[in-house]
Amino acid sequence: MRPRSRVFFSSIGTKIIIGVTGFALFLYLVVHIAGNLIVFFGPAAFNKYAYTLESNPLIPVVELGLLAVFLIHVYKTIRMFLANQETRPTSYTLKKRAGPPSRKSLASTTMIVSGLWLLIFIVIHVKAFRYGVEYEWPGGGRDLYRLEMENLSNPFVVGFYLLSMVIVGSHLWHGASSALQSLGFDHPVWTPRVLAAGKFAAVIIAGGFMAIAVWVYLQQGGRVRV
Closest CA to 17 of 66, 70, 62, 64: 70
Q: For residue 224, what are the contacts with CB-CB under 8 A and spacing of at least 6?
A: 153, 154, 155
How far is 119 from 125, CA to CA, in rounded Å? Answer: 10
C-alpha radius of gyration, the chain, whole number? 20
How far is 50 from 125, CA to CA, in rounded Å? Answer: 16
Q: What is the mean pLDDT of residues 151-175?
A: 91
| Helix/strand/coil (H/E/C) assignment for every residue in 83-103 | HHHHCCCCCCCCCCCCCCCCC
CB 210, CB 162: distance < 8 Å: yes
- φ, ψ of residue 224 to 5 degrees: the values are -80, 125
3-state secondary structure of 136: strand
95 has a pLDDT exceeding 60: no
Q: Domains in the chain, please, with CATH?
A: 3-87+108-219 (1.20.1300.10)
Q: What is the mean pLDDT of residues 206-216?
A: 96
pLDDT at residue 226 in the model: 43
pLDDT at residue 9 in the model: 62
Q: What is the mean pLDDT of residues 52-69?
A: 92
pLDDT at residue 103 in the model: 56
Q: For residue 12, what are the contacts with CB-CB under 8 A and spacing of at least 6?
A: none
100 has a pLDDT exceeding 60: no
pLDDT at residue 185 in the model: 64
DSSP strands (E only) in 11-74: none
225 has a pLDDT exceeding 60: no
Q: What is the mean pLDDT of residues 87-106?
A: 56
pLDDT at residue 42 in the model: 94
What band does 43 get if pLDDT is binned at 50, 70 and 90?
very high
28 has a pLDDT exceeding 60: yes
Average pLDDT, the chain: 82
The gap from C-alpha 170 to its chain's centroid, in whole angstroms, comes to 10
How far is 12 from 27, CA to CA, in rounded Å? Answer: 23
pLDDT at residue 2 in the model: 55
% of the chain surpassing 90 pLDDT: 44
Of 95-99, 175-179, 215-219, the range with the lowest mean pLDDT is 95-99
Closest CA to 154 of 226, 65, 78: 226
What band does 190 get if pLDDT is binned at 50, 70 and 90?
low
Residue of higher predicted confidence among 159 and 14? 159
Q: What is the residue type of 164?
A: S
Is the alpha carbon torsion for 153, 202, 15, 98 positive or negative?
negative
- φ, ψ of residue 142 to 5 degrees: the values are -90, 150
